[in-house]
Every structure is written in structure tokens, then in C-alpha cells.
Structure 1
Amino acid sequence: MKRVFYLTAVLGVWLCNANAFAQQVPDSLLSQATLQNCIQYALSHQPVVKQSRIDEEITEYSIKSKLADWYPQIGLDFNLQHYLKLPTSYFNGSAITTGVANSSAAAFSLNQNIFTRDLLLAGRTAKDVRTQAKQNTQSNQIDVVSNVSKAYYDMLLTQKQVEVLNEDIVRLERSLKDAYNQYQGGVVDKTDYKRATISLNNTKAQKKTGEETLVAKYAYLKQLMGYPVNGQLNLVYDTMKMTQEVQLDTNVSVAYETRIEYQLLQTQRSLLAAELKYNKWSFLPTVSAFANYNFAYLHPEFSKLYSHDYPNSLVGLQLSLPIFQGSKRLHNIKQAELQLKRSDWDVEALKNQINTEYTQAMSAYKSNLNEYLVLKENMDLAKEVYDLIELQYREGIKAYLEVITAQTDLRAAQLNYYNAMYTVLSSKIDLERALGTITTN
């Protein structure tokens, strides 16, 4: 029995720990954090996107709630009352008591709307309201794709900068060792050794700064993705493929219809046009049909109140039409017309804004692309120069100062190259957004 109890206790502790550990581990993490995987993860987990999808569901239920008034409306009213003192009426010069001490009634009612401008508006705008909710979701998704892509490139840039500095540290440590050995051998004075130490210390300091910046950028990317704070995010990327994705057709022209902002304005204009019709319908009557069936119970004794009923029923048609409201309806129509007219100017203003965004994005992309191509050539040249000067230094032809200069030039060329590559990729995202070609699928 002791053995069984011991095994049971151990198993219980193990299950509790396993359950606690399972609660700490996120349910979904990326094994390979490629750009596309990060975007898809963000589109599924980013709180703003989730809220937008919930807003779509809220909109759908709101539409159904309003359209439900087209169905027959059935109701029940019930009352039970007892007179403590019967009412008195004056009849033929005498005051007489009327009524019965106990009464009860149950009334069933059915109402069917035939024409009402509220329901007509709800029915005609349901499609546009659904479209607007979906377009809001799409707009947020485009923001997420754009922001995640740019943050991903920014983090890759910092990561590449750290890698370049690591390579530079390896070269500097080798140069420092050579300079120290030459100093110990009496070939050169300690100047070369000291210069190598200074360069190495500066590079290590830059590397430390880059590593700390990288931590902050990791946190920012996780925030944009809706990624667990403690989750591991291992970036996987193909530099060669990214260099191929730098190019973009610059002959394409902007089309307003592809921009989600323009689509939202068009949907909003349709809703404003429906609002104008709604106000014009205010001169039409509201028509509904109704049917009532009432059970009435009357008796002086409460115990016999429901012994007999006196039912009545009726059907009818109700028409309601305001005749004069102080010109309120005319003012509402004029207001709706002006709002519709104002939306036309919103469209014109957006077109001007889109043209400006497109021109600026295209200009920035072309400029960054040209700089990228130039700096790529500079990096290749700097590598050749460094290799040649280092070889000449080892053969005693060049001074160590020229080696340090070549190393500095190579490091700067590499950093500038990667900065240009990720800058042009980010500007490409801005251009695609200006063109309205960013996809969320």
C-alpha cells in the first residue's frame, strides 16, 4: 500500500508540473521566421486584426437585429387588479358605484410592418455596411503587412551590421596579433599595436550597441506580430533572394481604385446617398397591420375571477404621417445633400494625397535603388582593396596605417551596402502601398 501511495503521489506531482509547463509554453510559435511566415502569423494573431474581425461579426449581428423588424412582432400583455374601493360615477343625478372588484386581462398582439423608412434603409444599406466592415479589416491587414515587413527588414539590417562587425573584429584581432608579434620582434614600434587595439575596442563597442539595439527591435517585431513575449523568434532569410526582390517595375502607374482608402470612401459615399433617400422618405407614411386578441376576466369574488372570460378581438391597419414638424424634414434633407457633396471633395482630396504619396514613394525608391547599386559596387571594390593591401603589408610593402584604413573602408562599405539594401526594400514596401498592390492573402 505504501508503494502504491508513493507511486500515486509521484505521478500526481509530475502531472501538475507537466500541466504548469504546458500552460507556460505558447500554443503556436514559428519554427522558421521567414518574412512571409511572420506576415501570416501577424495576420492571424495581431490584436488589431482580431478586433477588426470581431467588428465584422458585430456588424453582421447589428444588421440582422435591424432587419428582424420585418418579421411579425408578437407580444403578450397581462394584468391583474383588485379595487380596494370601487370607482363612483354620476348618472341621472345620482352617484353610483360602477365596476367590479376584481378584474384581469391577457392581450395577445401581432404587428406587421408594411412600410417604414427605417427598415427600408436597413435593407438597402446592409450590403454596404458589410462591405465597409470588411474594408476596415483589410485596411488594418495592409497596415500590419507593411509594418511587419519594414520592421523585419530593419531587424535584418541591424543583424547584418552585427555580423559585419563580428567579421571586422576577427580581422582586427588577427591584425592586432600580427602587429603585437612584430612589435615584440622589434620590427616596428608600438604605434601599430596601439592603433590596432584602438580600432578593435571601437568595433567591439559598436557591436555591443548593435546587439542591444537588436534586442529592442526583436521586441518591436513581436509586438507588431502579436507574438508571445517569451517566444523564440529565429529569423530565416535568403540574402540572394532578397537582392532579387529589390527590383520593381517603375513604369506602373497609380490606380485610385486599388487603394483601400479610396474603396472605403466610395462605400461611405454610398451610405451617405442612402441616408439622403432616407430623409426624403420622411414625407411618406409609416404603415403597419395589427391584430389583437384579448381575454377579460371580471368577478366580485377573487376565487371565481377566472371562472368565466369575456374575450374580444380586432384587426386593423395603422398609418402614421407627420404633417408639420417646423421644416425639420427639409433641413435634414439639405444636411444630407451637403454631406454627400462634401464626400465628393473628400474623394478629390484623397486623389491628390495618393498622387503625392505615389510620387514621393517612387522618387525614394528610385533614389534608394540607385544608391544600392552603387554601394554594392563599392563594397566589392573595398574588399579587393583590403585583400591587396593586407597582402602587401604582410610582404612589408605597405604600412600598417594603410591596413587599418582599408579595414575601415571595407567595414563602412559593407555597412552602407546592407543599409542601402534594406532601405530600398522598405521603400519598395512604401511604393507598393502607394500603388495599392500589397496583398493580405
Structure 2
Amino acid sequence: MHGSALLHTKHHNLVAQPDESLFKLTPTEIADAARRLLPVTTKRTKIALALPNSEFVATTLKLPAVAAQNLKNVVNLQLPTLLPGVTEPLLLAVQPPNDGEQTCALWMPAKRAEELFQAFNKVGLFLNRVLPRSVVVLPHAPTPYQVYDEDDSTITCLEWSGNVIQRWLHLPKVERDEPEFQAQLEEALSSLQTGVEQEWKTSVSDWEELPMPSPAAYDYAFIPPGTAARLAQTAQRKKRFRLGFFAFLLIAGIIGGIYYAIDYERGLKQRLADLKRRTGDISQLRAEVGEIEQLIGPIKNLPRQDVVTILDALDKLIPKNSWIVSFHLEEGFIKVEGYSPDPTKLIEILTNEPQFIEVGQTRDITKERNRKELRFGIGFKLKEFDLDSYRLEYFPDR
């Protein structure tokens, strides 16, 4: 968005007349304009909305070394100090700084993001991300970069280096007459270094026909609460579908083997009946039937492993923040691997399940790059699966 215009690729649409309101544009106005720009787009398409920089607040931070997965928690704890007096829920976008350097945290009201999501949803569009307009032009490489973004009412100066925003200055134009604000603007403009790549955006035409934003831009994107809920529901549906499909394959294989055994036995019995009619040698035929039944006995009496019950129990026991990526069942012993923020707690949960025994790790707990959950491997036996008695009866010599 730029002023009262919403742009998409080579086209733009007026959201509202400039003099219609003295306040920021409503979510309904923005969503209606987006629908006019995207008349055939459905909710399957994920939409990112770049709002004017005045919708966001920036705070400068200089932090000690903090793990990337803990950074947002650390910054959120400092919110009362960074933005004193602010009580409404805020969304946070921040990236870990390089050693000894500062970084900027960007904040947006959660209520505003949710209102935008609901307005887009009402017109049949899926708002996936909200981000500040200036970050749309961030480069793909982590080399130093500077952005000057000016619209009808504000000026924003942004300094970027090492994959983080190191400085963010945002000033309303009405305050340029104030000496203090004018001095800040002149200082920011003077810091635009010669030799550093720069991007100047001073009119709506400068934002037309832009390429797709770099991944660095989405590092500073905000996820509306409604979007997060929908993505979580989608992930849960996919998880259930994968488990259901896997269970179907296992059940189909077991049923196919049983039907084959039954059909084979039926054919043998039919053959026996034919032999009886032709030869009348009853004792010989009975001996043959006995041999046949002894032959197929290991198949008919193979201990059953109720895969559906096992998968259903795992689905109920495993917390929503954990999932399995592999499942192996052999001779009553089950091995699962997956991801969880607390694998030890997951082992404890499975140990307390009456139908599982001898629960333990099958591999070391590991941490994978770019993933906050831990990789685990857990194995356990089915309590009611008596393979030893079966082997003793049919394979006593093994």
C-alpha cells in the first residue's frame, strides 16, 4: 500500500479517496480493494500485504548472544521497558543481530492484524502475512543496504546489514518543522553512505512492477492470529491424513494376506472333495488335509497386531506440538521417530500407557538446524503380543 492506493504487480486500485478520512484505512476498505485487484483469486492462494510504515513501531536493541528460537521470548519480556504504557497485545518481528551489533524489533497491534485477516477472509481471500512496506525491497544478499521511503504523510529511513535491520527512523512530515525531528532526519540522511547500495522510493510509481520480495523481507513479516490458527488446523489435518493413509496400507496388506490364505485353504478343501469322489481313499485324504492344515497353520494363527488401535492410541497420546515421521512395526516391537520440544516427556507419556511395555530410546535425541523441535527415536513392545508361544507351537526348533 502507498497512500490510499493498493498495488499488485502492474495494476493498482484506489482504496479510499484521500480526503475521506483523517485516520488510517479500515480493514474492510483494504480487503475490498484487494478483491477488486484479484477478482479470480481463491483462499488457496496465500497473500502477503505490505502496509505503510506508520502501521508499525520500531525499537532498537543491543542484545547478548541469544539462541534464535528464544529471541522473541527474550524481546517480549522487555516490552514494558521498550514501550512503556502499552498494554494491548502486540505481534513481534525481529532477527538475531551479529556479534556486537544492534538490531531493530518491529511491533504491530495483534488486533489490527486479526481485523485485516477477518476482512480478507470475508471477501474470500487468505491473508497469510503482513509486513512493512519498506522491507519489500530488501536485497537477497546480506550486504549493506539503505532504503529511503517517502509517501504523502511520512518518511522512513532504513539501514540493513548482515540480514538484520540495524536502524529504522520513521518521521511524520508534519513534524519536520520541529527542530528536533528535522535534526533526526538530517542525521539519518547524512548517514546514507557513499558506495552503499541505496533504494529511494518517493512516489507511488516507484512501487509499480516490483519483483517478488526476497526471503529477508518475510523475516520481518507478521502472522495474524487467525492465520496461525488456520495453518495449525491444516497441519493437523495433514498429520491425520498421513496416519490414516499409513494405517490403510498396513491394514490392506494384512487383509490381503488373510484373504489369500483363506482362498488357498478353500481351494485345497475343494481339491480334497474331488479326490474323495474319485478315489475314496479317506485315510489318505485325511492325512493330506492334516498336512495342509499344518502347512497353513502358521499363517492362520499368526498373532495379530491391531495397527489401527495402535495408531489411534499414538494419535491421542502424542501432544499437538509433537509428531512422528516414521513408524516401524515388527514382531510386536514398535519403533517411531519424529520431532518434539520435549522427547523425555513423550517417553514418560508412552510408559504410562498400559498396552505398551519396555518403552525406551532407539536413537539419541538430536537438534537439527533451523528447527526448534528435537529429533527423537522411541521403541516399545505390545503387552498382549505373545510371539514366543506362537514360535514354540509352530517353530519349536528355532
**TM-score bracket, shorter-length normalisation:** under 0.3
Structure 1 length-normalised TM? 0.22
Larger relative contact order (C-alpha < 8 A, sep ≥ 6)? 1
More helix by proportion, 1 or 2? 1
